[in-house]
Amino acid sequence: MDSFQKRVNIKLLTVIEDNGQKEYNNQIQSGDYFRKKDLDVLIFEEKLDDGSVIKNLITIQKEKVNINRSGAVIMNQKFKADQRTENIYHHAHGKIHMETFTETIAYRVASDSVEGHLTINYNVQLNGQDKRKHKLELIYKEEENQ
């Protein structure tokens, strides 16, 4: 199968470490998974407490990951192992310059079902402030037929 689309459950966990303090963000969403040759794509929406929506488009390839967010927040964050990337994070209160240094990307997919596990370890520096260590873990699995 060269390309296909499935509904998936997505679990996204992020951990931000700042001077010994850890901040955890955990969300579970339903979304769409697409595969086209060597490119995997996840699309899902996040509803914020104020009712606004952020659309997420995550593209995963062997050597790189791209997270594109639009709506209440606009961001196009690129991850490439052992490389620094830059982008501008747009939100309701203005713009923030974001530098990302990706340490590692690990991506495993099941050969017999639609499920995968992505882990990215990286550092982020916002507007030239101190770097903070981040870990992103994304797990997706095809929704069960009801």
Structural domain boundaries of the chain? 3-142
74-119 pLDDT, tens digit each: 999 999 999 999 999 998 889 999 999 999 999 999 888 899 999 9
Task: State the CB neighbour count (10 A cutoff) for residue 77.
Answer: 21
29-33: long-range contacts, CB 8 A cutoff, minimum separation 24? 30/143, 31/7, 31/56, 31/140, 32/5, 32/6, 32/7, 32/8, 33/5, 33/6, 33/7, 33/8, 33/114, 33/140, 33/142
Give CA torsion, residues 80, 86, 90, 95, to 10 deg: 160
How many Å separate Cα 64 from the centre of its chain?
12
Amino acid at 76: N
- Residue 37: what pLDDT? 85
Q: In the CATH hierarchy, which top-level class contains the domain 3-142?
A: mainly beta
Given a cut of 90, is residue 20 above it in pLDDT? no
- Residue 2: what pLDDT? 63
Could you tell me which of 87, 117, 115 has the C-alpha nearest to residue 101?
87
- Residue 79: what pLDDT? 98
Q: What band does 136 get if pLDDT is binned at 50, 70 and 90?
A: very high
114 close to 141: Cβ distance less than 8 angstroms: yes
21-57 pLDDT, tens digit each: 999 999 999 999 999 888 999 999 998 888 999 999 9
